[in-house]
Each structure stands twice: as structure tokens, then as C-alpha cells.
Amino acid sequence: MENPPLISIALCTYNGSAFLREQLDSILAQRYAHWELVVVDDGSTDPTRAILEEYAGSDARISLHYNRQNLGYNKNFEKALGLCQSDLIAICDQDDIWHPEKLEKQVQLIGNHTLVYHDSEFVNAEGRSMNRRISDKLNFYRGNAPEVFLFLNCVSGHSILLKKEVLQKSLPFPGNFHYDQWLAFNAACLGSIDFVPETLVKYRQHATNNTDILALKKVAKSADQKAAALEQESNWLHLCARQCTGQAHGLINALYNQSIRRNDRFFDPAFGILVWKHRDTLLRLLKKSDTSKFFYALRKAWGVKAKMTGK
């Protein structure tokens, strides 16, 4: 590739010494070599900092930043992304392993798209395959319909390569929501997204993962937590309705308004009907039968009063 564009890689670390070397080695082994690695450490108390300084000392493409106080997962990524200089930005977790062609394949694909992502293979803490991929759980999406990401998300942060315009629309990250879902939503608002149908990351699953996509940590929710989740869903829909002014705005706003009515009731069939009516878009990522999708839409109709029953 003539005049390859610079890719900024945002890596956040926090007490990640157990897996960090494998991730850094996999970045150094990329066939696409025109990158900068922006690392922000969130106050690690293990050998993470020493590992980072060892690698940065031998490769000028690596820049290190240290937080004076712990910012937490979302805010730390927000800071790291804000420090990236390039118009193309990749997101990196501290505990995964990248395929050598990850960046090369993504930069070849991005073209006029605002964001591209890829499939990933689940591995356990020791790096052994769990014989499952993200695409086994979710349908992947390519296109420009942001409403696809209202209830579900197939775009994992570690798989993202995006254009800076998406970041400019997305920062600061809203609190209490998944930043990768927010980036995917905004990327689809601005243009189109696409994916590489290959597993380009070994996505490590272990006890301290910030996300639990395989639902390995099943914790029963209290009635109060279930009711709070409905309120948060309405807040999310309101945020998305304000953010997106395109063709999808009408549906998103209708969902928000109906969710408010649902929250104040025991059961609101109108909300479930609205979800079911637009299932081809809203439930597109759900890798389930039509029957399962119907019951998914039905569950959306239960309001706060139903969740509080039996408290």
C-alpha cells in the first residue's frame, strides 16, 4: 500500500501484567506497521507499568500516559481515544491477542465506511480456544441503520477501527452505557459500517473481564435492579433520539416515548408491538428463531410495576 495511513491504537491498562506481554507482542507483530500505540494506565499497582516502560523503551511508536487517580474503564478509554492523533483509530484491550493481519485487513476494508469491525474467537485465561466466536452468539451487521444498535450490539470495542469523525460525535462517553455500542450507533448515524468475517482477535475470557458476553457470571437481579434497568433503557433511547437526526429519528423517538409510558405501567403491549413491528431492524442481531424474537419483544412490554411485584 502506497502512503499507508497512520493508525492510532488506544490501549488502556489496569493491573494487566498477567496478559499484557502477549497483547503487546501481537501488536508488534502486525504486518501493518504504520501505527502509534497510545497507552493510558489507570493507576496499576502490579508490574504493568514496568512492562509498559520496557516495551516503550525499545519502540518509539509507543507513548505512555499515567492517570493520577483511577478513572474507571469507560473514562480511561475516553481519555486514551482523545490522545490519539490519527484520523484512523483502533481500540485495544490489555488481555487479548491480535492476529498478525488484523490492522492490515481492516485498513483495506474501511474505505468510505465510518467504522469496521471483525469476528473474534473466545479463549480462556490460558489462551486456549473455547471453540466459540462472537458470530456464534450474534448476527453481524453491515449498513447504515443506527436503530440496529438500540437493544443489541455486535461491535466489540477490541474489534473496532473507526474514523475520527465518529469519535468527535461520540465524546464524551455518556455514563452508564457501553462505549462500544455508543460508537457503533454513532458510526451508523454518520455513514456506514462493515465487518471482516474472520476471527482477527483471540478474545480472552477470565474472572476480571469488564464485559461478560458469554454470560459466565450469572447474577440474579433484584426487583429494584430490574426496574432500574427499564429506566436506564429509556434514558438510552432518549440519548439516541437526541443524537440521531436522520431517517431513524422517528422510530427511536417513538420507542423512547412509548418506553416512558411502559415504565409507568404493569404491562404495555404497545411497546412490545412497536418492537415486534420493526423486528427486522431492531432484532436483526438476535441470532434466534422468530418465536424467540416474539418473546423477546413481549418481555419488553413489562413495566416497572411488574418488575417490582414480589419484591
What does the mean pLDDT of the chain come to?
94
Q: Examine the domain organization and report whether 274 and 196 are in the same domain.
A: no
- Within 10 A of 23 (CB to CB), how many other CB atoms are there? 23
Q: Examine the domain organization and report whether 171 and 299 are in the same domain.
A: no
User: Is 233 contained in some domain?
Assistant: yes
Residues facing residue 203 across a β-bridge: 122
User: Is 214 contained in some domain?
Assistant: no
CB 256 within 8 A of CB 234: yes
Query: pLDDT tens digits for 157-209?
Result: 999 999 999 999 999 999 889 999 999 999 999 999 999 999 999 999 987 65
End-to-end CA distance of the chain: 62
User: Is 22 contained in some domain?
Assistant: yes
Domain boundary among 204, 231, 251: 204
Q: Examine the domain organization and report whether 173 and 287 are in the same domain.
A: no
Q: Kindly state the cell numbers that stand for 91.
A: 481500540
Please give the residue range of the domain that contains residue 276. Answer: 223-308
Q: Examine the domain organization and report whether 136 and 267 are in the same domain.
A: no
Which of 43, 185, 193 is CA-nearest to residue 114?
193
Domain boundary among 169, 204, 239: 204
pTM above 0.75, yes or no: yes
Query: pLDDT tens digits for 32-89?
Result: 999 999 999 999 999 999 999 999 999 999 999 999 999 999 999 999 999 999 999 9
Q: Give how far Cα 20 sits from Cα of 100, 137, 205, 279, Å.
A: 16, 27, 14, 41
The CA-CA-CA angle for residues 154, 157, 160, to 5°, reads 85
Q: Examine the domain organization and report whether 236 and 180 are in the same domain.
A: no
- Within 10 A of 269 (CB to CB), how many other CB atoms are there? 12
Q: How far is 231 from 264, CA to CA, in rounded Å?
A: 10
Q: Examine the domain organization and report whether 47 and 154 are in the same domain.
A: yes
Q: How far is 152 from 150, CA to CA, in rounded Å?
A: 6
Domain boundary among 172, 204, 236: 204
Query: For the chain, what is the domain count?
Result: 2
